[in-house]
Amino acid sequence: ILNVEQSPQSLHVQEGDSTNFTCSFPSSNFYALHWYRWETAKSPEALFVMTLNGDEKKKGRISATLNTKEGYSYLYIKGSQPEDSATYLCAFTANNDMRFGAGTRLTVKP
């Protein structure tokens, strides 16, 4: 299993801005793509698990898309709020292995 890459590494936006970030993963031997949100001093919280090419998931102002053929997923946050400030991790699973990216650190300024 090859590495999972996330970009950008960090992002600073103003309250109310919409934003998105990318997770790239190996397109072969795909089983699932996970997104987690990790706030400082807390434990990672599951946002989405996607398994099918073309999947789109939504939870409030956060949504995600999946392209397994080209090996990428986008996470979108509409109208960012300060409480959205966190590290957003994606993880790729292939059979019995799970590989996390290093995350995108989002800071939303009031």
Partner 1 sequence: DTGVSQNPRHKITKRGQNVTFRCDPISEHNRLYWYRQTLGQGPEFLTYFQNEAQLEKSRLLSDRFSAERPKGSFSTLEIQRTEQGDSAMYLCASSSGTGSINQPQHFGDGTRLSIL
Contacting residues toward partner 1, per CB under 8 A: 4, 31-32, 34, 36, 42-46, 48-49, 51, 89, 91, 93-103
Q: Which is nearer to partner 1, 48 or 84 (CB)?
A: 48
Q: Which is nearer to partner 1, 2 or 98 (CB)?
A: 98
Q: Which is nearer to partner 1, 17 or 55 (CB)?
A: 55
Please report where in the chains the tokens 């970009």 appear, as a residue: 7
**What is the spatial distance between Cα 7 and Cα 9, in angstroms, rounded to a whole number?**
5
CB 102 within 8 A of CB 6: yes
Q: Output the smallest distance, CB 68 to partner 1, in A.
A: 13
Question: What is the DSSP code string of 43-72?
Answer: --EEEEEE-STT-EEEETTEEEEEETTTTE
Q: Output the smallest distance, CB 41 to partner 1, in A.
A: 9
| Burial class of residue 70 (count of CB atoms within 10 Å of its CB; 0-12, 13-18, 19+) | exposed
Q: Output the smallest distance, CB 110 to partner 1, in A.
A: 26
Q: Which is nearer to partner 1, 34 or 84 (CB)?
A: 34
